[in-house]
A and B are shown apart, each in its own frame.
Chain A
């Protein structure tokens, strides 16, 4: 009899302890702004401090000045910051390329995704260049056939993106069909090749710019885009913030 009591006890215990199956009853989701109203954490701050001090020392140097805020969405198919970057790459690469080859760069193409920040009005520092171009990519000059140049222009027309260009102008109709393309003000001559400055990421097929693959010739300048920006900032008193219709779409 005692045995049965014990058995009953265990059965009851098992029933009592049996895990009741659970199901999802409610989900609540939101985002929390990491705002300046939230206190900082002292342990984290002191851990960051030595890393930060080393960087701040080299980043704070004032190189130039921005007279207005510039960002990559301040035009439709061009932007002030994109124009600045493409113009700087073109200008800075030109003398190096000319000295090495005796030739001239015809035009420059970078990519929209490669513009990593805007430029705020005020002093332009080393940090500005690092934020604009944090990548370690370098300038390359690619010699392209006229056929590949036409592919490049088709890519830009179809891309609907403000990829930065310099010394190249493109006009599209309202449906993004090509109306006119000029390199240094001239029509594309199908009997010659063109020297295009870009970066090694794009030359290797980045952003599917496949027209840069297997070029007629390739010239690696060993000159980082960021260093070109830094060298240029040091020379310019106020950064030009221009939209000059180099890449436009008609409204009608």
Chain B
């Protein structure tokens, strides 16, 4: 059994922590680093907030996000850029251009993949389909069945990437649409249980696709305090296995740092969400080492 320990650093800036007396600072040639950058619920917030805003004055903006992303890509070219849905709706940019600018900018920022949020149906499923030519990135959703809609074949359950020799599998999960989105908007889109779907996906990605890293791109929400049994990212993390990271959205939860949960077999799962409106960029770095070194030294999570 793989030995996994973790350290939750209480400092805002993560200091370097050594485990078992062995320094992890020196990475040899066999050590590899994968960076995951992520956003969620950007809701058409293309410009920074104006100086007059009562809460987020002068914060956010796609242009600054572009600067950050290129900086991190320069630091580590083995980077994936992901979005957890609700790209659309929230500023007049969406009312005027229907999502065209959002998709074009995300393509310019070189997003690798996104999942579909409930507000991405706001101009109907046809409105989403109409904007697809502007997106150079792909969409994943494993629990929405688009078979009887225009989106059929345009959304895959998962996608795999190979970065620096590491195989990464990313699957998508969407929220229950009934009661949340007008049926006239989502039409014949079918929703399936996120937990069962996630369990199938992690098995396929681990066993059939032989992924080293499995990421769930979710728009089911972080946690529902007033309705704690409602399926959410925290419940998903606890009830499944084989998922390393859940990148969430929908609840606009501003996590100061990723949450570490135990999955159904007691392994650590990271759950992260960066609020909304492009005010933050999430960054998760995965370091790989020879299995021999890892079993000798253990592994750590620093958040």
Contact = CB atoms under 8 A, between A and B. Distances in A.
Interface of A: 19-36, 38-41, 43-45, 47-48, 51-52, 54-55, 59, 69, 71, 116, 118, 120-122, 127, 130-131, 134-136, 160, 200-201, 204-208
Contact of B54 (A35, A51, A118): A118
Sort chain B's interface into a size bin.
35 or more
Contact of B281 (A28, A31, A55): A31
B108 A25 contact: no
A33 B66 contact: no
Given A23-B2, A29-B303, A201-B182, A38 B92 contact: no
B95 A21 contact: no
A54 B46 contact: no
B53 A120 contact: yes
Contacts of A30: 14, 257-258, 282-283, 303
Given A20-B292, A48-B101, A120-B54, A34 B299 contact: no
A23 B296 CA distance: 11
Interface string B40-72: 000010111000111100111111111110100
B31 A25 contact: yes
Given A29-B284, A130-B92, A39 B64 contact: yes
Contacts, number: 208
Interface of A is mostly: mixed
A83 B104 CA distance: 38
Contacts of B30: 20, 22
Contact of A47 (B53, B108, B179): B108
A44 B96 contact: no
Given A23-B295, A24-B244, A120-B52, A51 B93 contact: yes
Across the A-B interface, the 8 shortest Cβ-Cβ residue pairs? A25-B289, A40-B63, A23-B294, A29-B258, A41-B66, A26-B287, A36-B58, A23-B291
Contacts of A40: 61, 63-64, 66-67
